[in-house]
Amino acid sequence: MANLPDQKPHVVIVGAGFAGIYAAKTLGRAPVRVTVVDRHNHHLFQPMLYQVATAALAPSDIASPIRSILRRNANIEVLLGEVVSIKPNERVVLIDDESSLHYDYLIVGIGALNTYFGHNDWAPWASGLKDIDDALEIKRRVLLAFERAEREPDSVKRQAHLTFVVVGGGPTGVEVAGALAEIRRYALLRDFRHIDPRDATVVLLEGGPRILPAYPESLSRKAKDTLRRLGVDVREQTMVTAIEPDAVHAAGWRIPTRTVVWAAGNTVSPLLASLGAERDRQGRVLVDQFCNPPGMPEVFILGDAAQFTQDGEILPGICPVAIQEGKYAARSIMATVRGKQRIPFRYFDKGQLAVIGRGRAVADIRRLHFGGFFAWLAWVFVHIFFLIGFRNRVIVMIEWAWSYLTYQRGARVITGEGRPRPEPRS
């Protein structure tokens, strides 16, 4: 009568991002009970979120219900809810509906949130890009900006509608800026009668000395050249000092605009404070070589929520890190359950890719640094390969083929009321 179902150890996974989903999948046939808690009903393929924001794909193309992904694993339960507190001494997490879950092992992969570096008053005018609602909001604002410009008789105000500012020169900022440049040049070309969408200005602001700072310097230069050829105004060493309803101030410039995309700062949910472990300035929990906060071997903090140091460098907040950590945490738990020793985590770097536009990308794969069409092809294949769920793969392939052949964007439908955005004084 050993191992009654409820005597199996209980693993609670908070967050169904890449770390959480891969951990759950790996535990899918292990002798444990698993509960996955997420405040959304879907897992999001975040690397393609900018494609929703720029009207190339529909939300359901890059998101799958968590229940579907884990349907075949009878030992896994999925719970729609938000974890509001962790009590490590009692081994309990509290959920927003005031229920609680006891865990034997806890895996936390809750990703990152936007931070405005203390300027939360900028948030209404500078939308971040972390989830589907963010992406739909950006899409709404971009498409409405063209509509408003078409109706605006005053040329100064018209140009403000046609100016898009992207703050932050990391992969997300580069992808969004490139995609906006392409919409403007191709997709909307013959749609308007009073404006020429090619008159739209896309400005990419980076506070540091170069865009794509995590890439080799040669690729940063290549990405900048490519963006400039697409007509993006790339400004490095340009720190934003203020965002107003109708302008961005940066390095002495005043840029009149109504549409700002914020891809600059990450922080981690205050939930982690309840753990009581040491955290860095971005709010990430300092973990040891086993992905545990010191002294808590039953708690794993993964992905963007953790600060993991390997060979003296902090691992970056990218998907491959989260995926490998998710699998690692699951295997560590299985080792402990079976009475075996855990081995330390080691990240295997397969390289990184950033896309800039149609047929344009940069690749940093081990010793190979290259850009252009082949980097883009590599990006397409890697991303489609990883897109979870067969349906999505087929649809995304067709959407891409179609948009590649015709320069059109299929998902150009404005929906929703939009978030409240204070009107600028005029």
Q: Please tell me whether residue 151 binds a second copy under the rule CB under 8 A.
A: yes
| Radius of gyration of the CA atoms of the chain, in A | 22
- Beta-carbon contacts of 347 under 8 Å, excluding residues fewer than 6 positions away, are 308, 310, 315, 320, 321, 324, 325
In the list 29, 31, 96, 97, the residue contacting a second copy (rule: CB under 8 A) is 97
Q: Which of residues 3-42 bind a second copy (CB under 8 A)?
A: 40-42
Which of the following is catalytic: 150, 152, 175, 399? 175
Nearer to a second copy, 102 or 340 (CB): 102
Alpha-carbon dihedral angle through residues 212, 218, 362, 317, given to the nearest 10 degrees? -30
Nearer to a second copy, 113 or 411 (CB): 411
Nearer to a second copy, 54 or 220 (CB): 54
Nearer to a second copy, 193 or 367 (CB): 193
3-state per-residue secondary structure call for the chain: CCCCHHHCCEEEEECCCHHHHHHHHHCCCCCCEEEEEECCCEEECHHHHHHHHCCCCCHHHCEEEHHHHCCCCCCEEEEECCEEEEECCCCEEEECCCCEEECCEEEECCCCEECCCCCHHHCCCEECCCCHHHHHHHHHHHHHHHHHHHHCCCHHHHHHHCEEEEECCCHHHHHHHHHHHHHHHHHCCCCCCCCCHHHCEEEEECCCCCCCCCCCHHHHHHHHHHHHHCCEEEECCCCEEEEECCEEEECCEEEECCEEEECCCEECCHHHHHHCCCECCCCCEECCCCCCCCCCCCEEECHHHEECEECCEECCCCHHHHHHHHHHHHHHHHHHHCCCCCCCCCCCCCCEEEEEECCEEEEEECCEEEECHHHHHHHHHHHHHHCCCHHHHHHHHHHHHHHHHHCCCCCCCCCCCCCCCCCCCC
Q: Smallest gap, in angstroms, from Cβ of residue 177 to a second copy?
A: 23
Nearer to a second copy, 24 or 143 (CB): 143
Interface mask toward a second copy for 53-92; x: CB under 8 A: -----xxxx-xxx-xx--xx----xxxxx-----------
In the list 4, 190, 313, 423, the residue contacting a second copy (rule: CB under 8 A) is 190
Q: Smallest gap, in angstroms, from Cβ of residue 355 to a second copy?
A: 21
Query: Where does this chain touch a second copy (CB under 8 A) — which range of 17-25, 143-151, 261-269, 324-332?
Result: 143-151
Q: Please tell me whether residue 388 binds a second copy under the rule CB under 8 A.
A: no
Nearer to a second copy, 28 or 410 (CB): 410
Q: Please tell me whether residue 222 binds a second copy under the rule CB under 8 A.
A: no
Query: Where does this chain touch a second copy (CB under 8 A) — which range of 4-12, 254-262, 268-276, 403-411?
Result: 403-411
- Is residue 154 left, alpha or beta, with left meaning phi > 0 and alpha meaning psi from -120 to 50? beta
Query: Where does this chain touch a second copy (CB under 8 A) — which range of 19-27, 191-199, 308-316, 321-329?
Result: 191-199
Q: Please tell me whether residue 412 binds a second copy under the rule CB under 8 A.
A: yes
Q: Please tell me whether residue 136 binds a second copy under the rule CB under 8 A.
A: yes
In the list 82, 104, 150, 246, the residue contacting a second copy (rule: CB under 8 A) is 150
Q: Smallest gap, in angstroms, from Cβ of residue 31 to a second copy?
A: 17
Q: Smallest gap, in angstroms, from Cβ of residue 32 to a second copy?
A: 15
Q: Smallest gap, in angstroms, from Cβ of residue 71 to a second copy?
A: 5
Q: Judge whether 417 counts as a catalytic residue.
A: no
Q: Please tell me whether residue 228 binds a second copy under the rule CB under 8 A.
A: no
Question: What are the residues binding a second copy (CB under 8 A)?
Answer: 40-42, 58-61, 63-65, 67-68, 71-72, 77-81, 97, 99, 132-133, 136, 143-144, 147, 150-151, 188, 190-194, 391-392, 394-395, 398-399, 402, 408, 410-417
Question: Catalytic site residues?
Answer: 175
